[in-house]
A and B are shown apart, each in its own frame.
Chain A
Amino acid sequence: MNAKTADRIATATIIGVASLIVLILAGLLGFILFRGVSHISFDFLTSVPQTIKAGGGIGPQLFNSLFLLLLTLIITIPLGLGAGIYMSEYAKPGRLTDSIRLVVEVLSSFPSIVVGLFGLLVIVNLFGFGFSLFSGALALTVFNLPLMVRITEQSLKGVPREQKEASLALGLSRWKTITSVMLPIATPTIVTGTILAAGRVFGEAAALLFTAGMSSPRLDFSNWNPLSPTSPLNPFRPAETLAVHIWKINSEGLAPDAAEIAAGASAVLVITVLLFNFSARWFGRYLHRRFTATK
């Protein structure tokens, strides 16, 4: 067999496998969207769920998912940036740094149900935060923080060495070099990575069952006082998210249209994650153009 034939066979195999994967993905997406999209309406997205009647919506759940994501990012972005900057620019290579990196890797690939149980034992019961958005956000931090650290570390490592040296050679401090020269170059990558990681958090269910809880109190969307128990903004109230809701109505839904609601909610979930993905790419490119000031 000559090199040309071998090359053709290899190319054909790779194209074949790739198309198969694309087909499976497209089929999966198509199936979820086909079953669910017809059920999505403004009313469905904004009204409260019904227990035994048909016609319930997913309004509070959608809100909970987005709010929980926001809370998680408020915790993980500053910590992740700080730790990532430390790991990339300050940590001396050695056993300590290597073991921190290992812990970070292990943490991000922990089974989510285990994290959920850990959250139940420690955050919910031991620290007494109860089933709440805050407990849920801490559980999600376990997955999200390691990703943020890694994203920050790698995007800083990706900044050309000469850029950093040029700044140091002008007599700028290490910190100023990081904030004024390196972070602007790394930001598009960090932002893209953050949004992509947010998609993973948004769809998480298992870790939230025992931390954010499986029910929401009756929310009063005109009450914006974060300390009031019926306010949607209260971080210490229980909150059922979209993914948890899907799981719940699939396993114990009593409403006659439970299957349609699950399908509709799944479609909403998938569409939102897709939106995250596309906006991440678009926004990353936009920032890159802004920061590098290329036309």
Chain B
Amino acid sequence: MHQEGLSAKNLRVFYGEKEAIKGVSLDFAPREVTALIGPSGCGKSTFLRSLNRMNDTIDGVRTTGEIWMDGENINDPGVDVVLLRQKIGMVWQRPNPFHKSIYENIAFGPRYHGVRNKKELDAIVEDCLRKAALWDETKDRLHQSALALSGGQQQRLCIARSIAVKPKVILMDEPASALDPVSTAKVEELISELKQEYSIVIVTHNMHQAARVSDKTAFFYMGKVVEYDVTDKIFTNPSEKATDDYISGRFG
């Protein structure tokens, strides 16, 4: 187990009676990008959402097993989920900026967590937008609605929003699958930038994307991890036949 970083041990997730994640153990190191790949319905999103206990918000979901972060099992019922979620950011498939101004989208989280000083907030907003390579496009319209941005810009805004509360890990569920190729390239570039500071777990259906952005790759199949290894190894010389079949598009 990593001292720092995030690791899941024997994680199981049930939707009612149905077991969607069947005992998964994975370690995510700091400053590394891990890609989760696998056919539709194999449980990638379910697994990702259990890492920040977002599945708690769905009725009838039960999660067993351990998730370790900073020496604490965050799947323990006694853990304060509200505080926990600040440490683990999340980005969704469809961009979901708040129905607020660009500025507010970023400032909203930090302000809630205690940053009240206007100058400090301004600095956070600028810093996050710069990190998300969005500053030049938005600096003249910070107080306009975030909904007026393009889809790609909205998604980068959502990434900027998530880093504004200083998480350690960022979970991304197919963050580029609703975007055009140029925006996709920008988001991928951004991921490579962000990995200097954060550990990133990204779900993707795009094999090239996984190969481009990730350091490690986990192949999920029917609620289990079939293979977890360095990305180069997975894509050039996988140990499991199922992985090979999936990567080369022989089943989907």
Give A residues with C-beta under 8 Å from B.
92-93, 160, 162-174, 176, 180-181, 184-185, 291-295
How many B residues have CB within 8 A of the partner chain? 33
Residue B3 is within 8 A (CB to CB) of chain A in the complex: no
Q: Are A293 and B100 in contact (CB under 8 A)?
A: yes
In the bound complex, what is the Cα–Cα distance between A292 and B84 (angstroms)?
Answer: 29
Within 8 A of A (CB), among B125-170: 144-145, 147-148, 158, 161-162, 164-165
Q: Are B165 and A162 in contact (CB under 8 A)?
A: no
Give the distance to chain A from B220, nearest Cβ to Cβ, in Å.
Answer: 21
Closest to B90 in A: A169
Task: Known contacts A162-B96, A181-B98; decide if A168 and B57 are in contact (CB<8 Å).
Answer: yes
Residue B99 is within 8 A (CB to CB) of chain A in the complex: yes
Q: Are B108 and A170 in contact (CB under 8 A)?
A: yes
Which of A163, A173, A292 is within 8 Å of B96, CB to CB? A163
Task: Find chain B residues with CB under 8 A from A171 CB.
Answer: 82-87, 109, 112-113, 165
Which of B83, B86, B158 is within 8 Å of A166, CB to CB? B158
Bitwise, B36-61 to A at CB < 8 A (1) or not (0) is 00000000000000001010010100
Task: Find chain B residues with CB under 8 A from A180 CB.
Answer: 108
Within 8 A of A (CB), among B81-118: 82-90, 92, 94, 96, 98-101, 108-109, 112-113
Give B residues with C-beta under 8 Å from A.
52, 54, 57, 59, 82-90, 92, 94, 96, 98-101, 108-109, 112-113, 144-145, 147-148, 158, 161-162, 164-165
Instruction: Taking A93-B59, A165-B90 as given, write out 19 further A-B residue pairs in contact, using a Cβ cutoff of 8 Å, ordered by the A residue number.
Output: A162-B94, A163-B99, A164-B57, A165-B54, A166-B90, A166-B98, A166-B158, A167-B98, A167-B108, A168-B54, A168-B57, A171-B83, A171-B112, A172-B82, A180-B108, A181-B98, A292-B99, A294-B147, A294-B148
Interface SS of A by simple majority:
helix
Task: Find chain A residues with CB under 8 A from B158 CB.
Answer: 166
In the bound complex, what is the Cα–Cα distance between A143 and B112 (angstroms)?
Answer: 38
In the bound complex, what is the Cα–Cα distance between A291 and B59 (angstroms)?
Answer: 29
Give the distance to chain B from A170, nearest Cβ to Cβ, in Å.
Answer: 4
In the bound complex, what is the Cα–Cα distance between A92 and B59 (angstroms)?
Answer: 8
Task: Find chain A residues with CB under 8 A from B83 CB.
Answer: 171
Q: Are A170 and B86 in contact (CB under 8 A)?
A: yes
Which of B88, B144, B164 is within 8 Å of A293, CB to CB? B144
In the bound complex, what is the Cα–Cα distance between A63 and B100 (angstroms)?
Answer: 40
Q: Are A170 and B165 in contact (CB under 8 A)?
A: yes
In the bound complex, what is the Cα–Cα distance between A92 and B58 (angstroms)?
Answer: 11
Give the distance to chain A from B138, nearest Cβ to Cβ, in Å.
Answer: 14
Closest to B113 in A: A171
Closest to A168 in B: B85
In the bound complex, what is the Cα–Cα distance between A168 and B112 (angstroms)?
Answer: 12
Task: Find chain B residues with CB under 8 A from A294 CB.
Answer: 145, 147-148
Give the distance to chain A from B173, nearest Cβ to Cβ, in Å.
Answer: 10
Task: Find chain A residues with CB under 8 A from B94 CB.
Answer: 162
Task: Find chain B residues with CB under 8 A from A166 CB.
Answer: 90, 92, 96, 98, 158, 161
In the bound complex, what is the Cα–Cα distance between A292 and B146 (angstroms)?
Answer: 9
In the bound complex, what is the Cα–Cα distance between A292 and B101 (angstroms)?
Answer: 9
Q: Are B148 and A160 in contact (CB under 8 A)?
A: no
Q: Are A172 and B112 in contact (CB under 8 A)?
A: yes
Q: Are B162 and A170 in contact (CB under 8 A)?
A: yes
Top-7 shortest CB links A-B: A171-B86, A293-B145, A162-B96, A170-B109, A169-B90, A292-B99, A171-B85
Which of A165, A176, A184, A293 is within 8 Å of B101, CB to CB? A293
Task: Find chain A residues with CB under 8 A from B162 CB.
Answer: 169-170
In the bound complex, what is the Cα–Cα distance between A139 and B162 (angstroms)?
Answer: 49
In the bound complex, what is the Cα–Cα distance between A162 and B93 (angstroms)?
Answer: 10
Closest to A94 in B: B59
Q: Are B99 and A185 in contact (CB under 8 A)?
A: yes
Give the distance to chain A from B147, nearest Cβ to Cβ, in Å.
Answer: 6
Task: Find chain A residues with CB under 8 A from B98 CB.
Answer: 163, 166-167, 181
Which of B96, B109, B164 is within 8 Å of A172, CB to CB? B109
Give the distance to chain B from A67, nearest Cβ to Cβ, in Å.
Answer: 36
Q: Are B112 and A176 in contact (CB under 8 A)?
A: yes
In the bound complex, what is the Cα–Cα distance between A170 and B86 (angstroms)?
Answer: 5
Most B CB contacts (10 A, CB to CB) among A167, A171, A291 go to A171
Give the distance to chain B from A137, nearest Cβ to Cβ, in Å.
Answer: 35
Closest to B98 in A: A181
Task: Known contacts A162-B94, A163-B96, A295-B145; decide if A169 and B101 are in contact (CB<8 Å).
Answer: no
Query: Could you pull out 24 A-B pairs where Cβ atoms are within 8 angstroms?
Result: A92-B59, A93-B59, A160-B96, A162-B94, A162-B96, A163-B98, A165-B54, A166-B92, A166-B98, A166-B161, A167-B98, A167-B108, A169-B52, A169-B54, A170-B108, A170-B162, A171-B87, A171-B112, A172-B112, A173-B82, A180-B108, A184-B99, A291-B99, A293-B100
